[in-house]
Every structure is written in structure tokens, then in C-alpha cells.
Amino acid sequence: MPYDLELEELRQIQAIVARHEDHAFKIRGVMYALLTALTVPLFAEKPVISGQTFLTLSAVVVLLLLTVELVHRAFVRLAIERGAKIEQILRDKEPYDGPKIAISLGQSRVVEMMIKELFLPSIAVHYVALLVSLGVISWVMW
């Protein structure tokens, strides 16, 4: 078939997107589990950690896992861009320029994509609200 290579690359791109999206959701699950584990000693009958320690540890957990999530989301964005290019090639019957999975998902634009992802409302609002709520919890328990 004339478009076998293009369609195969598109299927691989879709699998990459699905895998990295799954990783991003699992990272949030791990973050919530760690934050819950940090919160439990705070509300014990005799608090094991102070509000200040809770805030510091929570902020470190959130920022570290935010960074990991942004890496995965950057790869998703790069893969989606490559998928859009392949779709355009198929639609416009342009000459195929691939396969270019390794090139399109290369390290050169990951930081740029991480910054773009950070300022998307779906990411920024979630993490700002989370940090504010952690700040309120620590302030109450200070």
C-alpha cells in the first residue's frame, strides 16, 4: 500500500502519546500518595512534624514531580506535532519525510516544550491550587 510507512509511524506516535499520558497520570497519583503520607503525621494526636516542615517537604515533592510530569508532557507535545505533520503529508499527498520519530522526539526542544506545558491552564491552575492548599494546611498547623 502506498502509505504503509506513514501510517505505521503515525501508529507509533499515537502509542508514544498514550504511554506518556499514562505516565503523567501515574506521576500525579504518586504525588497525591506522598502528600497524603506527609499529611497524616501532621494531624496525628501528637503531631510528628511541624507545619513548616510539612510545607517544605510538600513543596519539594510537588516541584520534583511537577518537573517529571512536564518532561512527559513535553514528549507528548513533540509527538503530537510530529503526528500533525504526518497527517498533513497524508492529507496533502506531500512527499514523506520520515520516519523521524527519534529526531522529532529529540532532546533539543524538550525544555522549550516543558515551559509551554507549564503555562497551560490545565497544568498551572492545578499546581498553583495544590501549592496554595498545602500552604493553608501548613499555616493552620503552624
pLDDT higher than threshold 60 for residue 94: yes
pLDDT confidence tier of residue 1, bands split at 50, 70 and 90: low
| Euclidean distance between CA atoms 72 and 70, whole angstroms | 5
pLDDT tens digit string along 18-31? 999 999 999 999 99
Please tell me the predicted confidence (pLDDT) of residue 2: 63
Please tell me the predicted confidence (pLDDT) of residue 11: 92
In terms of Cα–Cα distance, which of 58, 46, 37, 33 is closest to 127? Answer: 58
Q: Is the CB of residue 81 less than 8 Å from the CB of residue 55? A: no
| Euclidean distance between CA atoms 79 and 90, whole angstroms | 17
DSSP secondary structure, 58-79, as one string: HHHHHHHHHHHHHHHHHHHHHH
The predicted model gives 26-55 an average pLDDT of 90
The predicted model gives 47-56 an average pLDDT of 88
Please tell me the predicted confidence (pLDDT) of residue 142: 73
The predicted model gives 57-63 an average pLDDT of 95
Q: What's the whole-number average pLDDT of the chain? A: 89
| Euclidean distance between CA atoms 141 and 83, whole angstroms | 49
Highest mean pLDDT among 48-52, 107-111, 131-135: 131-135
Q: Which residues contact 54 (CB under 8 A, 6 or more apart)?
A: 38, 39, 42, 134, 137, 138, 141
In terms of Cα–Cα distance, which of 43, 53, 108 is closest to 75? Answer: 108
